[in-house]
Structure 1
Amino acid sequence: MTRIAFAIVFLMATSLLSTAAVATEPTQAEQTTLKQLVQDQLAAFQRDDGPAAYGLAAPGIQKMFPSPDIFIGMVKQAYPPIYRPQSIAYGQVSDSPSGLVQKVYVTGPDGQNWVALYRFEKQPDGSWKIAGCSLIKDSEPTI
């Protein structure tokens, strides 16, 4: 009897894991929306518009940085290539284990090339917010 129960639990867990591992390609509408979110936030940084940039961040980010001033201060210090890019080129949106990710190629203010991986979170109202950004040094020319 315990073998049967173990087998059922094992099959259920395997089924859940295989379902979770199936990546779904983002729709064209999602890709357009996510790219626009990044463009809007980068434009807000260029204008030093903390409230606009902060408004595009997911609730988890807003919880970590509880005001637009704290948020934009963190971006200035930790993400200078995002805060003041020399150039930007948009890559593809893809699904990852942590959700949809927009790849953005950025040349920072110092001329260094970076790949920014923007992660998104769908909100209960169906809208999307930026849930994080990781910077990876890129040795290839951006543009």
Structure 2
Amino acid sequence: MHTPSPSDFALRPRHRRPRAGVALAWSLLFSAVLGGAVFASDPAHLRVPGEADNVQVVRTVVQQQLAAFANEDALQAFALADTDLRTQFGTAEAFLATVREQYPMLMHPTSVLFLKPETDGRIALQRVRVADEEGSSWTLTYLLNREGGRQWRISGCVVTPEGRQILT
């Protein structure tokens, strides 16, 4: 019988991401947590009568950005981001390069499933389940806001791994 030694459980060094990647990840996580806190504070406000149009537009904005990523269309993908996110990245090319490097599952997902968005008319959460080319599943949680009270724009996206899908 094998008795595990302490070295069997030793932590292995992990690949470190560049500092800019860590800052971006934290800012996206903060945006998602903030948005979640707003939604969780009063679930009744999420069901605003007459918001059906907002629900469809929120989904469409996310679909358009995913299509722009798939087409490597940096300008279109960048145009769907809100002002703060565009300011943080500076250029469409820098935005696309970051997504390509740190979030490859957004570039060419093999499957996409949109869950029903939640909105109060000012901010929205859109969850999307995707599978990448390697068979791993991910949940994307997009936070959107209405810039100037008019157009929906993406404020951030948190990517959560779900693991590999095994078909039997």
Q: What TM-score do you get using the length of structure 2 for normalisation?
A: 0.66
Query: What is the alpha-carbon distance in structure 2 between the residues aligned to residue 133 and residue 54 of structure 1?
Result: 13
Is the partner of 1:92 in helix, strand or coil? coil
Query: Within 5 Å, which residues of 2 pair with 1:1-143?
Result: 21-22=41-42, 23-25=45-47, 27-95=51-119, 99-139=123-163
Is the partner of 1:135 in helix, strand or coil? strand
Aligned 8 A contact 1:118 1:134 in 2: yes
Is the partner of 1:110 in helix, strand or coil? coil
Aligned 8 A contact 2:108 2:133 in 1: yes
1:140 deviation in Å?
7.9
Aligned 8 A contact 2:55 2:119 in 1: no
Question: In structure 1, what residue type is equivalent to 2:94?
Answer: I
Runs (5+) with no aligned partner, structure 2:
1-39
Query: What is the alpha-carbon distance in structure 2 between the residues aligned to residue 85 and residue 24 of structure 1?
Result: 29
| CA RMSD after TM alignment | 2.2
Q: What TM-score do you get using the length of structure 1 for normalisation?
A: 0.77
Is the partner of 1:53 in helix, strand or coil? helix
Q: Deviating runs (4+, > 6 A) in structure 1?
A: none
Query: What is the alpha-carbon distance in structure 2 between the residues aligned to residue 105 and residue 94 of structure 1?
Result: 15
Is the partner of 1:63 in helix, strand or coil? helix
Q: 1:125 to 1:101 in 2, by over 3 A?
A: closer
CA offsets per residue over residues 81-134 of structure 1, 9 Å max, x none? 1112111010111249xx410010000122100000011011115111011000
Query: What is the alpha-carbon distance in structure 1 between the residues aligned to residue 75 and residue 93 of structure 2?
Result: 8
Question: In structure 1, what residue type is equivalent to 2:138?
Answer: W
Aligned 8 A contact 1:80 1:109 in 2: no
Is the partner of 2:115 in helix, strand or coil? strand
Residue 5 of structure 1 is matched in structure 2 by none
Query: What is the alpha-carbon distance in structure 1 between the residues aligned to residue 109 and residue 101 of structure 2?
Result: 14
